[in-house]
Amino acid sequence: MTMALITYKEAVRQAMQEEMRRDENVFLLGEDVGVYGGAFGVSLGMLEEFGEERVRDTPISEGVIAGAAAGAAVTGLRPIAEIMFSDFITIAMDSLVNQAAKMRYMFGGKAKVPMVLRMPGGSGTGAAAQHSQSLEAWLVHVPGLKVVMPSTPYDVKGLLKTAIRDDNPVVFIETKTVYNKKGEVPEEDYVIPFGVADVKRVGRDVTVFATGVMVHRSLEAAEILAKEGIDVEVIDPRTLVPFDKETLVKSVIKTGKLIIVHEACKRGGFGGEVAAEVMESEAFDYLDAPIKRVAGKNIPIPYCMELEKSAVPQVDDIVNAVREIV
């Protein structure tokens, strides 16, 4: 394959463009996705290529965006709906949770709901408590939704193309602090299947399971720890639903230790579910230490950038957790 070095947000844009060229039923809707090119510049140039019928600016109403996407999907279209910040999913929950997630089941499988709800999540931009949350645990709890959380340009492009082609509602969480991170992405068409985790770094001493931007911080921590003779394995689930339990269990059996790292608040976070999955598996007998969670504090994200950093895990927090468990 021919590889190109592009940013995370360019990979998102390419995935949407390629799928819209491939299938005329695919269209994009959301606040400022057209003329403005998206709040983070992800959809720049798409209005010029596809026109107002397929790149649709909407009113400031997340309920309308999610409801219109669900309705369009049921009638045979393949909408990509953008929620400007993941925090605003609160306004769209009825359409997403009670309609989109349930329709295929309630119609005995005869109705398909091929919609993607894209939303940038997480902190790191000084956007304060109402624009910086990580709410993936809410969405994982809903039967009928698939939840995707890529961390690299390669993953985000391949998984978004898979999401657009899926016949079920997919919540696609983009970590906004990695929008400008670059990585190699194939120029040829490719997709990444759901439910397949990626071992970002192979190690023998401890397994670090991380999501979103925490994948990058965990890899940075692993390089620091390698100089101390501690070999860290870093696993990125890529999709939270479906969840690749097998890869995680295999890693924990090998290392005997598990640290779970996520940006969301520790209380009720996805890390608790991951820990339970391991405890209920054959990996339990191989654990040499209690499972550790390195997660956000149970507080709203502060506006001040220095306080914001203290509210979510940083590289040093991961390094210290590994030292403690090893």
* φ/ψ of residue 78, rounded to 5: -125, 80
Cα end-to-end span (Å), the chain: 40
- List the structure tokens of 269: 């976070």
Catalytic-residue membership of 262: no
Between the CA atoms of 101, 105, 111 and 115, what dihedral angle is there, to the nearest 10 degrees? 20
Q: Which residue type sits at 270?
A: F
Phi-psi region of 108 (alpha: psi -120 to 50; beta: other; left: phi over 0): left
The letter for the amino acid at 210 is: A
Specify the residue for token string 């190109």.
Answer: 4
Q: Which of 131, 141, 216, 262 is catalytic?
A: 131
Per 3-state DSSP, the chain is made up of helix, strand and coil in percentages (nearest 5) of 40, 20, 40
Beta bridge partners of 128: none
**How many angstroms separate the CA atoms of 46 and 55, rounded?**
7
For 76, 111, 112, 153, 169, the CA distances from 71, given in Å and listed in that order, are 9, 11, 11, 30, 12
**Is 281 strand, coil or helix?**
coil
Element holding 223 (H helix, E strand):
helix 213-226
Say if CB 132 and CB 228 are below 8 A apart: no
What are the catalytic residues?
A: 131
